[in-house]
């Protein structure tokens, strides 16, 4: 079974940066996508970014130019570098993964495996 552990959340001032990490293991194939979602209080969960094992990446429009997703396959870890953070980025960020799923911000898809979430708070 796929196991996911996130880390790296915290409190930062607007304009600052944070890097989230997602350690994922237990895949049975080399065809899978890892994605970051976020959910702010009172709002629906939304996709932020994803990366497929073929290195395809995609981003929500609201984070393009500010967030960068990358992977270190040797460590089994995906990173989300978040720069120029805004108060609207405040949310619990979740890492999700699934096999045989494409990385596409127009249709984030349904993920079977989720991490516990990490809080990101951006103060104004």
Q: Per residue in 29-73, pLDDT tens?
A: 999 999 999 999 999 999 999 999 999 999 999 999 999 999 998
Q: Please report which confidence band the pLDDT of residue 88 belongs to, taking 50, 70 and 90 as the band edges.
A: very high
How far is Cα 120 from Cα 9, in angstroms, rounded to an integer? Answer: 5
Q: Please report which confidence band the pLDDT of residue 75 belongs to, taking 50, 70 and 90 as the band edges.
A: confident
Q: Considering only CA atoms, which of 21, 33, 12 is closest in space to residue 89? A: 12
CB of 109 within 8 A of CB of 102?
A: yes
How far is Cα 90 from Cα 105, in angstroms, rounded to an integer? Answer: 20
How far is Cα 58 from Cα 74, in angstroms, rounded to an integer? Answer: 22
How much is the pLDDT for 109?
Answer: 86
How far is Cα 95 from Cα 75, in angstroms, rounded to an integer? Answer: 16
Q: Which residues make beta-bridge pairs with 69? A: 80
How far is Cα 51 from Cα 71, in angstroms, rounded to an integer? Answer: 8
Higher pLDDT, 107 or 21: 21
Q: Considering only CA atoms, which of 8, 1, 6 is closest in space to residue 81? A: 8
Q: Please report which confidence band the pLDDT of residue 90 belongs to, taking 50, 70 and 90 as the band edges.
A: very high
Compute the residue count for the chain: 124
């Amino acid at each position: 079974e796929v196991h996911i552990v996130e880390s790296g959340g915290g409190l930062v001032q607007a304009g600052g940066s944070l890097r989230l990490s997602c350690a994922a293991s237990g895949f049975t194939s080399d065809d899978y996508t890892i994605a970051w979602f976020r959910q702010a209080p009172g709002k629906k969960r939304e996709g932020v970014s994803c990366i497929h094992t073929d290195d395809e990446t995609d981003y929500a429009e609201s984070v393009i130019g500010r967030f960068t997703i990358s992977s270190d396959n040797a460590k089994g870890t995906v990173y989300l570098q978040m720069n120029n953070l805004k108060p609207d980025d405040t949310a619990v960020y979740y890492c999700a993964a699934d096999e045989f799923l494409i990385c596409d911000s127009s249709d984030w898809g349904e993920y079977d495996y989720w991490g516990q979430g990490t809080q990101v708070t951006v103060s104004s």
